[in-house]
Structure 1
Amino acid sequence: MNSSIRVDKRDLILAKGAEVMTRRGYHGAGVQEIVQAAGVPKGSFYHYFASKEDFALQALQQVYQPRLARYAEALGNPALSPRERILGYYTELVGHFARQERLEYHCFIGSLSFEMAELSPTLGAQVDAILQASADTLQTCLEQAQAAGELPDGEDCRNLASFITNAWQGALTRLKVANNTQALSDFIQRLQLLLRA
């Protein structure tokens, strides 16, 4: 029981701390604010994490491993054609943001990449690995679309996956800056054109 409490407390700090860091950025989120959000003493933070950088690395895993798994599941859905999987996934995300009364979306991975890529090569590498895993999943689905005749034979699926992944990250940044979903709507419109056979 003691070990499960320990794991639960670590997960609680990761979840609440990731929210704080997503909202305030790496530099704006102090350890004190993270532990206050989690409702634990400061010593608990250093029991589980060697430093704020170590916390951020573990938080990235905590936040993005489930997201990558959901992405892979959605893009591997055999009930839909590869093109339908991709368009359906992104259209559903855009719909989610469009339904929000207030757009307070802050991209954890985006914030960390802007703030920390040069200052912390370790964090930069972790962010890049997550984005690459997403692009790899998309590339596999694009290759399936190509094999099914939904994309031209000459399409470079690796390059297209990289472009779509980077364009989505850019659209999320514009969402935060402009506080409206126009960039996401533009993304979907262009994605539909990109995925025409």
Structure 2
Amino acid sequence: MTTQTRNDKHSLILARGAQVMIRRGYHGTGVQEIVQAAGVPKGSFYHYFASKEDFALQALEALYRPRLERYRVALNEAPGTPCQRILAYYRELTAHFSRQEKPEYHCFIGSLSFEMAELCPPIGQKVLAILGQSVELLADCLEQARRQAEIAADSDCAAIAEFIGNAWEGALLRMKVSGSVTPLQRFLDQLARLLECQ
């Protein structure tokens, strides 16, 4: 088996297995369900992963590394001022959900947080690390806004970034429960007021 083939199979198991775990939860997903979704024998799973916990840790990294990179690009390389880039990013996400007949959102990191953060410290630490990276990216963009006098000179950019991240996650949860994008639209309204950019 070539290195490329091994990498492809590893990525396939991660992608297909993560989708199962996102929908069924950590405890509701066994190794058998993961390998069935990937169409590989059970032995292949243990060739790439030491355990289901190891799989979850690798899946978190595989799913959120590209998402964090897209976030970084949106906040740093898109047109507009820092505040405009932040608002544009969340407007685009809200528009994405608005186009769905019934807004659907399955949050892998949220699901693992609820199920495993206390029971499995390595998963809890990985979740915190990913959330921390997201806050840092947003805080860096807000720092640019502060330097450009878009927001107050005494703004606590890290605290504002954490507040925005928490508010967004809460809005997504409310959207999932209600089946409506109204919580996201209200989030956007308040974000625009917070950043004082329309």
Partner of 1:191: 191
8 Å CA contact 1:174, 1:183 repeated in 2 = yes
CA RMSD of aligned residues (A): 1.2
Counterpart mapping for 1:81-160 below 5 A: 81-160=81-160
- For normalisation by structure 2, the TM-score amounts to 0.96
Using the TM superposition, give the Cα deviation of residue 173 of structure 1 relative to its aligned residue in structure 2, in angstroms.
1.6
Identity %: 60
- For normalisation by structure 1, the TM-score amounts to 0.96
Q: Give the partner amino acid of 1:35.
A: V
8 Å CA contact 1:107, 1:172 repeated in 2 = no
Q: Which moved more, 1:78-87 or 1:54-63?
A: 78-87
- C-alpha separation in 1, matches of 2:84 and 2:67: 19
Counterpart mapping for 1:28-39 below 5 A: 28-39=28-39
- C-alpha separation in 2, matches of 1:177 and 1:24: 17
List alignment gaps of at least 5 residues for structure 1. none
Q: Give the partner amino acid of 1:40.
A: V
List alignment gaps of at least 5 residues for structure 2. none
8 Å CA contact 1:135, 1:162 repeated in 2 = yes
Using the TM superposition, give the Cα deviation of residue 104 of structure 1 relative to its aligned residue in structure 2, in angstroms.
2.7
8 Å CA contact 1:107, 1:173 repeated in 2 = no
Partner of 1:60: 60
Using the TM superposition, give the Cα deviation of residue 124 of structure 1 relative to its aligned residue in structure 2, in angstroms.
0.5
Using the TM superposition, give the Cα deviation of residue 103 of structure 1 relative to its aligned residue in structure 2, in angstroms.
2.6
Using the TM superposition, give the Cα deviation of residue 175 of structure 1 relative to its aligned residue in structure 2, in angstroms.
2.0
Partner of 2:44: 44
8 Å CA contact 1:110, 1:173 repeated in 2 = no
